[in-house]
Amino acid sequence: MRRIRGWPATLTEPDLLDAPVVLRPARVSDVKVRRAVMAANDSWLRPLNATDPDAPAGAARANPLVAMARRSPALPYLAVARSQWKGRRGIAFSWVVWYGGQFAGDLTVWHILWGPNRSAEVGYWIDERLTGRGIAPTALAMGADYCFKHTGLHRLEAGIQPENTASRRVVEKLGFRDEGTRTGLVHIDGAWRDHVCYAITAEAAPDGLLHRWRNSLATSRAI
Ligand SMILES: CC(C)(COP(=O)(O)OP(=O)(O)OC[C@H]1O[C@@H](n2cnc3c(N)ncnc32)[C@H](O)[C@@H]1OP(=O)(O)O)[C@@H](O)C(=O)NCCC(=O)NCCS
């Protein structure tokens, strides 16, 4: 663990896309809209959700205690407090992504290793109705720059299922390197799934990923 000064951190990119992109640590007031957007995206996101290798399919949904805990009015407060604590302790950084004032998805930096590693994994999703506008690469570039410049992290990894071309494009656009396939890396949607490991280090983008992404967008818009 490591004490992170300046967390919770809100990051704003006002003019790179058609509308501002804001990364903000979750508040209790976000819980309702986040739940509604996740429910609207359920069939799209469910095949990508991690699953418990020991649980029979659907077990978590059938467990009445889990269902009761999820309905508890205390849960949003506990979840937000836990997320803030994790950020301050350098265990995980979680942001909700807003696009033009609209809830758009999540960006999480987790599995953080300090010591001589200073590495972490990234995860993200965007509301399907807002895809194709460059929100995910913008949010990832903002979050990665925060991690490299303000927390002392040195390396970020993204594990992506080979057939998830949309997500592969997100990291490729930012210059993450393809480091090869890790076999049976995560249990997803009921089975062990291979993942392509993409990674980037701080020194590979000395001016930052947002700078790189801005230049690449300017070039493609000029063509
Ligand atoms: C992957 C994901 C985050 C991309 O977000 P995004 O904001 O749409 O990112 P981009 O706008 O840069 O688009 C990335 C690619 O998605 C694809 N794409 C674009 N619009 C799309 C749409 N409406 N529907 C599906 N895919 C689309 C394109 O291949 C695009 O690449 P391109 O710009 O080279 O054409 C989003 O598709 C998502 O949330 N998917 C489900 C969750 C997920 O896969 N998370 C990552 C797990 S590793």
Number of domains the chain is built from: 1
Q: What is the DSSP string of the chain?
A: ----TT-S--EEE-SSSSS-EEEE---GGGHHHHHHHHHHTHHHHGGGSB--TTSPTTHHHH-HHHHHHHH-TTHHHHHHHHHHHHHHTTS-EEEEEEETTEEEEEEEEEEEE-TTT-EEEEEEEE-GGGTTSSHHHHHHHHHHHHIIIII---EEEEEE-TT-HHHHHHHHHTT-EEEEEEEEEEEETTEEEEEEEEEEEGGGSTT-HHHHHHHHHHHHHH-
- Per the structure, the complete domain to which residue 83 belongs is given by 11-222
Reported confidence tier of residue 61, pLDDT bands at 50, 70, 90: low
Q: Who wins on pLDDT, 193 or 6?
A: 193
What CA–CA distance (Å, rounded) separates 32 from 75? 12
Q: What is the CATH number of the domain that holds 91?
A: 3.40.630.30
Does the residue 4 lie in any domain? no
Q: What is the pLDDT of residues 88-138, one digit of tens each?
A: 999 999 999 999 999 999 999 999 999 999 999 999 999 999 999 999 999
Does the residue 193 lie in any domain? yes
For ligand 1, say whether the CB of 133 is within 6 Å of any of its atoms.
yes
Does the residue 217 lie in any domain? yes
Q: What is the pLDDT of residues 137-181, one digit of tens each?
A: 999 999 999 999 999 999 999 999 999 999 999 999 999 999 999
Which residue of 97, 169, 181, 196 sits with most ligand 1 atoms within 8 Å of its CB, as the best mutation to test the pocket?
169
Which residue of 96, 130, 131, 176 sits with most ligand 1 atoms within 8 Å of its CB, as the best mutation to test the pocket?
131
For ligand 1, say whether the CB of 125 is within 6 Å of any of its atoms.
yes
Percent of the chain with pLDDT over 70: 97
Q: Is the pLDDT of residue 66 over 80?
A: no
Does the residue 214 lie in any domain? yes
Does the residue 28 lie in any domain? yes
Mean pLDDT rounded to a whole number for the chain: 93
For ligand 1, say whether the CB of 169 is within 6 Å of any of its atoms.
yes
Sequence-ordered list of residues with C-beta below 8 angstroms from that of 56, at least 6 positions apart, any chain: none
Does the residue 6 lie in any domain? no
Does the residue 3 lie in any domain? no
Q: Is the pLDDT of residue 59 over 80?
A: no
On whether the CB atoms of residues 175 and 156 are closer than 8 A, the answer is no
Does the residue 46 lie in any domain? yes
pLDDT value of position 180:
98
pTM for the model stands at 0.94
